Amino acid sequence: SNQSCLFLIMIRLYFIGFFILIGAIASNTLAAKVQCKTWYDFLQGMLETFTFWNQVRLKDIIWLFFIYPFLLGLSAHIGNLLYQKIF
């Protein structure tokens, strides 16, 4: 029925969101280990000082705009695959 379909969609979104959250936590831990800026560091730096861009390295840009979104997308994909296996 319509309600059971909606329920499964909500469960799927929750499941994928949970995996994105776990992926974000793991990615932020990895960022700290490899000494890259997180989004929190990046936004705080932009708000606090005009010379912030002098502190941003190419490594930070690659991490924030390429690797981090890839890892979050990968965690969403894994969550979706696991959801499909379970349900």
> pLDDT at position 83, please?
94
Using an 8 Å Cβ cutoff, are 6 and 31 in contact? no
Per-position pLDDT tens, the chain of length 87: 788 899 999 999 999 999 999 999 999 999 999 999 999 999 999 999 889 989 999 999 999 999 999 999 999 999 999 999 998
> pLDDT at position 81, please?
96
Buried b (16+ CB within 10 A) or exposed e, 2-39: eeeeeeeeeeeeebbeebbeebbeebbeebeeeebbbe
> pLDDT at position 40, please?
95
